[in-house]
Structure 1
Amino acid sequence: METDTTEIKKKEGFNGQKAIMLPRSIISKSCVSNPLLSGIYITDIGFYPKAKFHYRERDHGIDQYILIYCTAGKGEVQIEKTPYSLLSGNFIIIPAEKAHAYASDKNDPWTIYWAHFKGHLVKPLIALLLRRQKNYKGFVQFNESRIKLFDDIYLNLERGYSTDNLCYVNTSFQHFLSSFIFDDKFNYSSKKIMVNPIDLSIEYMQKNLHATFTLAEVAKSVNLSSSHFSALFKEQTGFAPIKYFNHIKIQKACQYLQFTDLRIKEIAAALGIDDQYYFSRMFSKIMGLAPQDYKSKRETLRESKFL
């Protein structure tokens, strides 16, 4: 259960609740000292359905970060002097060492997935979250894959605290956290509708790797002006649009080199580049070696059974 001695207003718990508190001796021995796990690791985790009267107040905070993800009902969270209302789809991360309180709504109690976690990589991860959404609270679309990932983490923890179990659980938990920070990318393959113009433009590029585009042509494909599209694209990806297009062309070229017997000239042509020498220079600049050297290296690795 959650690790404080504050009053719990409903002593008997909540119907269907589940919670695991990892032994502190296990955390100290297997997580803190393990370089693979010390970045981010779970200390407590649980699920409270329709948690009427659920309440916590910690005047001095705790030494763990807390994730609360609300999937039904509603509740209130206060971090220091800032209040937050949580509805279905909202999540919040409460920073370590900060005074806080949270409570389920009396008339429409929340259903929450929660976890306490620590590690030296947590602060930069939370800083990334704040850069993307400006505060500790966010909203994510319901995704069954996120719940399945949580359940997988929980069920594996129930099986005990072997090193393998802890490694699997905590690396999976990093993925779980990233699903809140990058909701637009989580389980991307199952998403049928894309409304972000940058995502649409990248899909347009992927479907037309054989073509050569100008900036204006790519911007037109998503009904934006060249200047607005270019600024938005660079803000979201870190790259100029045409440079990004060249990167995914070269990514495809790597696949051709690895999985086909196409010649360099044929690969260049398949990617809409008439001059194979220009293609080779582009490939070398991006990948750090020439196409033929890349092909030879991959063949050597395959023969050595490293792949």
Structure 2
Amino acid sequence: MDNKTTEIKKKEGFNGQKAIVLPRSILIKTCISNPLLSGIYLTDIGFYPKAKFHYRERDQGLDQYILIYCIDGKGEAKIGDTSYSLIAGNFIVIPADQSHSYASDKNNPWTIYWAHFKGHLVKPLITLMAKRQKGYKGFVQFNESRIKLFEDIYLNLERGYSTDNLCYVNLSFSHFLSSFIFDEKFNYSSRKQMINPIDVAIEFMQKNLHSTFTLEEVAKAVNLSPSHFSALFKEQTGFAPIKYFNHIKIQKACQYLQFTDLRIKEIAATLGIDDQYYFSRMFSKIMGVSPQDYKSRRETLRETKFL
């Protein structure tokens, strides 16, 4: 896969290490040819605790992407001419076909979870990650659920390479990758408190769907200036705050239309909109159909037992 790979490592390996290299025949037979798996699939995966003397240098790179997640100790990585220092909480993704090297610190060796992966969806996913992280290196808060997800992937791979097993493992690995790209959303239901002001703002909106707010009022709720709040909100969600608020109002309206007998005027009033015609225009713009048509279609589906 590469013309030169330099490896320096203690012959006995690292105490507690584990690794799985998927057979190339399995990758060709099951992963590459399966449309469910060909987007993102693992080729190698492992865990190296206190990996003293761990070192790799690949002048021509690999035809795979590499994820290294450091949870203890420290080390360094180099991609092309750019060097990165890695400490606990840091992760880095090394792109395919890029010259690179990485090494554990000799005095404080790293403990890492790592994976090699491929697929036609990987490049756009890592491009998104690099855009959000402003580079290939990032930082995530330690989350036990992320480690448990990795362990689940690894333990299932140990059970063999059936199609069902590989589907579960690789779909789970996509989730694992997304936990680095969207750390603020990963395992959201178990978070005890929210410190991201945008999360707080969205929670504020969800609890006050019956009200109407100005930009200034929502910004005040999270103690930010309107201009800073608006810029930050759009950066993280892709939408202006009030537009986002309208989207989740309409999301709630869809639930009312589907699961209750409330009239359109009553739904609008419940969502803090006095003018039912304004509500209908907003609903139609967002959903592509009028509230009445939406309700009729859902009723038809229920009657024909498609739902």
Structure 2 length as normaliser, TM-score?
A: 0.94
SS in 1 for 2:199: helix
SS in 1 for 2:7: coil
Where do residues 192-271 of structure 1 align in structure 2 (5 Å cutoff)? 192-271=192-271
Shift of 1:5: 5.9
- Cross-structure match for 2:57: 57
Count of matched residue positions in the alignment of Structure 1 and Structure 2: 304
Work out whether residues 157 and 165 of structure 2, in 8 Å CA contact, stay in contact via their aligned partners in 1. Answer: yes
AA partner of residue 117 (structure 2): F
AA partner of residue 117 (structure 1): F
SS in 1 for 2:102: strand
AA partner of residue 38 (structure 2): S
Deviates most, 39-48 or 102-111: 102-111
* CA distance in structure 2 between the partners assigned to 1:235 and 1:280 by the alignment: 29
CA RMSD, aligned part only?
A: 1.6
SS in 2 for 1:294: helix
Work out whether residues 5 and 56 of structure 2, in 8 Å CA contact, stay in contact via their aligned partners in 1. Answer: no
- Cross-structure match for 1:113: 113
Where do residues 50-89 of structure 1 align in structure 2 (5 Å cutoff)? 50-89=50-89
Alignment CA distance shift 1:301-1:15 (3 Å): farther
- Cross-structure match for 2:15: 15
SS in 2 for 1:216: helix
Deviates most, 104-113 or 61-70: 104-113
SS in 2 for 1:70: strand
* CA distance in structure 1 between the partners assigned to 2:304 and 2:12 by the alignment: 60
Cα deviation code 1:22-68 (max 9, x no counterpart): 11011111111222211111000011111122221212211111000
- Cross-structure match for 1:178: 178
SS in 2 for 1:160: coil
Work out whether residues 5 and 59 of structure 2, in 8 Å CA contact, stay in contact via their aligned partners in 1. Answer: no
- Cross-structure match for 2:277: 277
* CA distance in structure 2 between the partners assigned to 1:304 and 1:115 by the alignment: 46
* CA distance in structure 2 between the partners assigned to 1:85 and 1:231 by the alignment: 30
* CA distance in structure 2 between the partners assigned to 1:304 and 1:164 by the alignment: 32
Work out whether residues 145 and 187 of structure 2, in 8 Å CA contact, stay in contact via their aligned partners in 1. Answer: yes
Cα deviation code 1:104-125 (max 9, x no counterpart): 1222221111000011111111
AA partner of residue 228 (structure 2): H
Shift of 1:302: 3.3
- Cross-structure match for 2:129: 129
Structure 1 length as normaliser, TM-score?
A: 0.94
Shift of 1:130: 1.5
SS in 2 for 1:161: coil
Shift of 1:305: 3.8
What is the identity percentage for the equivalent residue pairs of Structure 1 and Structure 2? 84
- Establish whether residue 39 from structure 1 lines up as the match of residue 39 from structure 2: yes
* CA distance in structure 1 between the partners assigned to 2:228 and 2:5 by the alignment: 53
SS in 1 for 2:77: strand
Question: Is there any run of 5+ residues in structure 1 with no aligned partner, and where?
Answer: none
* CA distance in structure 1 between the partners assigned to 2:149 and 2:257 by the alignment: 35
Shift of 1:165: 1.5
